[in-house]
Structure 1
């Protein structure tokens, strides 16, 4: 009987050793493999959290001015490099854009003009209703043959309504067909709260946007070299035409209002003003402070063409507050 137990002892030891090996392997699997997957899961979770934090819009601590101090009831400040919103005030509230509309008119025209030097003839229908609506004009006349590039400058610098109509008729056959192109571009850019009714910005209850959407538009348009060149010009002289042999010289309405004022530690590089009774004083501007470029859209400020330009004073105040 004793001899039989001795013979079974090696088999028991082998079995116990086998169980221990299985346990060790199982532990190693759990520690190495499962922990590895846990690490991957944790990383993915951290990435999602970081992404959420990056997409969150928060006031920049280096913009010292409070939005409540602005004259404009609607405003948004964006760092152009990474499209970060640094300051906002009712940025998603419906507003009337007035002549800031012409930024969309011009970028759509640029992208659909095969030749910037092609001549476009302005007709009687180009001017129909514009004088009666007290629209801003660049100074061209009916029957005048004008290069496309000069119409683009005329639309942005002196805010010429006849330039916008002339471009629309040439490119799309009519203003309303061109407006469809503008609305399609707005949809493509993600301007979700925008609808255009005309190319000039004359008041219409169905012609509206938000300063946030206008920020999206200007951020996009400034990537185009031709648009940026026009937007940042203080003046432009056209070539000779059949009505103006000596050409016409345009001056930027924004630079005229600035009257050599500028910002500390930087420069206002360009901009587009706008005004109607319903829209108030509006401004879309580009500035460089330090090494960074910023855009500011503001609308609805009180006043008119003859009052203090509160859209300009707001821009100076905001840009001067960066880094302070």
Structure 2
């Protein structure tokens, strides 16, 4: 009896081991095969899980989105309140475009418009007091060289005053669900009650890029204005972002559009889009140390992030 029980137990153990060999070992190998497939860890998954990218950024706030599927690939304090500086002008340009029936309408820039901007050391496009400028040129002047006089000129023409135009901006922000945003001016000049978040700005920019006029302006490297009463040969200005980008930094794509921003309180900011391997990506960064005289760490960050895709 004891011998039969021992034999039976041995047979049972052998059968169990055979079952293990047949089912569990191949499954383990199969699982490894799945994990080792080249497409298991796509570039999108890689950057989303790579926390070292976020920690290496000069910018205090960032968000990266794939515009194809609207997936957020990276976030760094994306809902934290920031001062948006001239990223404000994305909203200024969008609201102006949506409220202008004639993009070639001539708009007067009165002398009184300039005094406060000169006093605030605001960035200017190069238009002059009492110049008559086509609306489309004011839009390019707002976005490329970040001209405050262009922004205020558009605001006054559309709403009668900057304050009334800012109300349109805040209405648009509410419509888009920008819950952490409040505008005080159309230029981005610093004010403690003028704030946003990089996540809100990403919502704004993704929406704005669907407007073909806005997209054409946002992706322009340079623009030459039409002749005016004070500039008979027009003015040519270049994007404040593109003049600081070296195309040699990119291996598989390029940054195709952007808007810079800077105030002492906001730090260096950038809203940009890039095409990498055929897909469009949107990146918003804010709060990088530096100024106009230092390395442009906002652009440095963008290049490094896009290189990871």
TM-score normalised to structure 1 length: 0.80
> Aligned to 1:267, what secondary structure does the other structure show?
strand
Structure-2 separation of matches of 1:135 and 1:184: 25
Match of 1:165 among 152, 160, 179: 152
> Aligned to 1:192, what secondary structure does the other structure show?
coil
* Structure 1 stretches lacking a partner, 5+ long: 1-58
1:225 is aligned to 212
1:184 is aligned to 171
> Aligned to 2:73, what secondary structure does the other structure show?
strand
Structure-1 separation of matches of 2:97 and 2:188: 18
2:5 is aligned to none
2:138 is aligned to 151
Instruction: Tell me if the contact between 2:257 and 2:274 (Cα under 8 Å) persists in the aligned partners.
Output: yes
Match of 2:106 among 114, 119, 135: 119
Figure out how many residues of one structure are paired with residues of the other and give that number: 264
1:244 is aligned to 231
Structure-2 separation of matches of 1:151 and 1:284: 20
The structural deviation recorded for 1:309 is: 0.8
1:62 has 2:46 as partner: yes
Instruction: Tell me if the contact between 1:262 and 1:268 (Cα under 8 Å) persists in the aligned partners.
Output: no
The structural deviation recorded for 1:125 is: 2.3
Structure-1 separation of matches of 2:70 and 2:100: 28
Match of 1:270 among 257, 264, 275: 257
> Aligned to 2:45, what secondary structure does the other structure show?
coil
The structural deviation recorded for 1:291 is: 1.6
The structural deviation recorded for 1:60 is: 4.0
Match of 2:125 among 119, 131, 138: 138
Once superposed, what is the RMSD of the aligned Cα atoms? 1.1
> Which of the pair has more CA radius of gyration?
1
Match of 2:185 among 177, 191, 198: 198
Instruction: Tell me if the contact between 2:225 and 2:236 (Cα under 8 Å) persists in the aligned partners.
Output: yes
Instruction: Tell me if the contact between 1:270 and 1:285 (Cα under 8 Å) persists in the aligned partners.
Output: yes
TM-score normalised to structure 2 length: 0.84
Task: After TM superposition, list the pairs within 5 Å mapping 1:10-89 onto structure 2.
Answer: 60-63=44-47, 64=50, 66-89=53-76
> Aligned to 2:117, what secondary structure does the other structure show?
coil
* Structure 2 stretches lacking a partner, 5+ long: 1-42
Structure-2 separation of matches of 1:242 and 1:253: 26
